[in-house]
Structure formats: structure tokens, C-alpha cells
Amino acid sequence: MTAVSKAEIRDRNLQMLNRIRARDPQSHREGYYALRVLTVAGRTSGEPRTVPIALMQLDGIQYVCSPDRRRDWVRNLLAAGRCTVEPDEHELRDALLVEDASGAAAVAGYLGRLPRVSDEWPFPGDAPPEQVLPFMGQIAVFQLCVPA
């Protein structure tokens, strides 16, 4: 994999944010992902940080996943514990880090729905949950739920 600069990542994210916001929202469907916009407070600045995400729904629970816990949005979400998701009706969500079989199943389900194999993950794109599970401390999977 070739190194990508932060500027290139910002440009790609901005293009994707514009694309998501310009279209009608994708429906949430069991076993599929829907593209959304996640906003979380910056862990240092407190300023809102917005990223495009894929919201995976599995067993009626919604998850967001990242192949690397060191990504800024992941570190911000770990610090804040809450985010907003647009354009969903429940704007504020609690974000709970999951490191168990349910999180591994969400990642495997998400990767299985991608139109192409992603090389960003530390395991093959067609990995079953059992193969994902040993990497749960390295990747990030958050369950998003409406605050009680």
C-alpha cells in the first residue's frame, strides 16, 4: 500500500462528504451498510470534526468500523464517547467500543459487502469473524446507540 498524505485524505473525505450530502440517504438494511456523515468533538480542540462513514447494521445494531485505532476520528470518538450521525433522526449517539465477537461479525459483514477488496485491514477482505477477532485490539468497532 502506498503512503497517502493527510492532505489527500482530507480531499477524499471532503469529496465523499459532499457526495453523501448531495444524495438521498441510503436506507438502513439488515446486513448492509449505509453511508453517513459522523461528527465528533476533537479531543484537543473540542471543535466538531466531520468524516464520511459506513454505518453497518447487524442484528438490529448499528456499527462503525475502522482498520486502525490511530486514526484521528477514532481517537476523537474514543475520547468523546458520543457523536452525531446525519441525516438520521436520532442525531446524538453514544459510541461504545466493542472488542468481542459481535464487533468481529460487524467488520466481516461490512467487508463482505464492499464492492472491492480493501487492503487497509490487517486481514483479508473475505475474513470470517473468527479471523477478525484476534485483531479487535488493533482495529476499532463502535456500536452506536441512542442515549438513554
Q: pLDDT tens across 105-118, in order?
A: 999 999 999 888 77
pLDDT value, residue 71: 92
Sign of CA dihedral 135, 106, 54, 141: negative
pLDDT value, residue 8: 85
pLDDT value, residue 2: 54
Class of domain 6-145: mainly beta
Q: Are 104 and 127 in contact (CB under 8 A)?
A: no
pTM summary value: 0.91
The ranges assigned to domains in the chain are: 6-145
Contacts of 122 (CB under 8 A, 6+ apart): 67, 135, 138, 139
Which pLDDT tens digit goes with each residue over 83-94?
A: 999 988 767 899
Cα–Cα dist 53/132, whole Å: 20
